[in-house]
């Protein structure tokens, strides 16, 4: 896992810079696991350092403090989602198919990235204390909403969607249904003896979510 990428860069500092970037990334990955697992206050710098290829000192060298490291982790997590839902090309699709595609992408992303879900939960426990420090979030979200608005209005004009649905309201609904499924997995699964992790259970829920939203939007 060491020194494989980026070796083809051109400037003089290449090797060292690459090493440094690698170290940074390695720390970030381990920290993501730890913060996502235990939350900001539950995470331990020692624990992160131990599972890192480098040392505790390096964490401070690169990130300055536990909080800054947490912020870097949060930022990286949000950056990664961005790249996902920006990739959906909606304009080639019919409104119905586009909506379904958006739901599916969102649903799958949450399932495949529980660490993102947990980081967001934690950030809400912290009453959003750090999210304001992360650049680009609003821009990305604007784009998401714009997409939804386009899909909705296209659907309305084609007579397949009903009028009056607010795109933010729609996004909140999709998010809620996809998020809760992962975020509340433990208490819900226990309280209702309900499997929430198997492919079968997830497939069923996926269908429900699509069904719910389509029923709502349908003209």
How far apart CA 122 and CA 138 sit, in angstroms, is 19
Does 9 engage in binding with DNA (CB under 7 A)?
no
How far apart CA 170 and CA 168 sit, in angstroms, is 5
Q: Which long-range contacts (CB under 8 A, 24 or more apart) does 149-156 make?
A: 150/90, 150/91, 151/90, 151/95, 151/98, 151/99, 151/102, 152/95, 152/217, 154/95, 154/98, 155/95, 155/96, 155/99, 155/217, 155/219, 156/219
Residues in region 22-41 near DNA by CB under 7 A: 23
Does 176 engage in binding with its own copies (CB under 8 A)?
yes
Does 205 engage in binding with its own copies (CB under 8 A)?
yes
Does 106 engage in binding with its own copies (CB under 8 A)?
no
Give whichever of 49 and 182 is closer to DNA, judged by the CB atom: 49
Contact 32, 76 (CB under 8 A): yes
Residue 20 partner contact from DNA, its own copies, none using kind-dependent CB cut-offs of 5 to 8 Å: DNA
Residue 100 partner contact from DNA, its own copies, none using kind-dependent CB cut-offs of 5 to 8 Å: none
Cα–Cα–Cα angle for 190, 211, 85, nearest 5°? 85
Residue 25 partner contact from DNA, its own copies, none using kind-dependent CB cut-offs of 5 to 8 Å: none
Q: How far is the CB of 110 from its own copies (least distance, A)?
A: 12
Contact 85, 145 (CB under 8 A): no
Contact 44, 33 (CB under 8 A): no
Does 132 engage in binding with its own copies (CB under 8 A)?
yes
Selected from 5, 25, 37, 44, the binder of DNA by CB under 7 A is: 44
Task: Return all residues near 43 (Cβ < 8 A) that are at least 6 apart.
Answer: 31, 34, 35, 37, 66, 70
Does 203 engage in binding with its own copies (CB under 8 A)?
no
Residue 93 backbone zone (phi > 0: left; psi -120 to 50: alpha; other: beta): beta
Does 16 engage in binding with its own copies (CB under 8 A)?
no
Q: How far is the CB of 4 from its own copies (least distance, A)?
A: 23
Q: How far is the CB of 8 from its own copies (least distance, A)?
A: 26
Residues in contact with its own copies by CB under 8 A are 38-42, 118, 120-128, 131-132, 137-138, 141, 145, 166, 168-169, 171-173, 175-177, 179-181, 183-194, 204-205, 208, 211-213, 215-216, 218
Residues in contact with DNA by CB under 7 A are 3, 12, 15-17, 19-20, 23, 43-46, 54-58, 60-62, 64-67
């Amino acid at each position: 896992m060491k020194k494989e990428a980026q070796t083809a860069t051109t400037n003089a500092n290449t090797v060292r810079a690459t090493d440094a970037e690698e170290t940074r990334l390695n720390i970030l990955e381990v920290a993501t696991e730890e913060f996502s697992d235990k939350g900001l206050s539950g995470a331990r710098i020692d624990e992160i350092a131990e599972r890192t290829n480098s040392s505790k000192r390096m964490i401070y060298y690169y990130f300055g403090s536990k909080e800054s490291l947490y912020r870097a982790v949060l930022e990286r997590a949000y950056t990664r989602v961005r790249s996902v839902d920006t990739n959906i090309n909606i304009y080639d699709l019919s409104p119905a198919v586009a909506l379904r595609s958006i739901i599916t992408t969102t649903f799958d992303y949450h399932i495949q990235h529980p660490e993102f879900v947990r980081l967001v939960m934690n950030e809400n426990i912290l009453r959003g204390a750090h999210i304001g420090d992360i650049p680009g979030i609003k821009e990305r979200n604007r784009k998401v909403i714009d997409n939804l608005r386009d899909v909705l209005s296209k659907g309305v004009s084609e007579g397949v969607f009903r009028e009056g649905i607010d795109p933010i309201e729609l996004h909140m609904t999709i998010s809620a249904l996809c998020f809760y499924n992962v975020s509340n997995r433990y208490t819900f699964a226990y309280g209702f003896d309900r499997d929430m992790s198997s492919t079968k259970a997830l497939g069923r829920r996926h269908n429900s979510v699509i069904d719910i939203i389509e029923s709502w939007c349908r003209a």
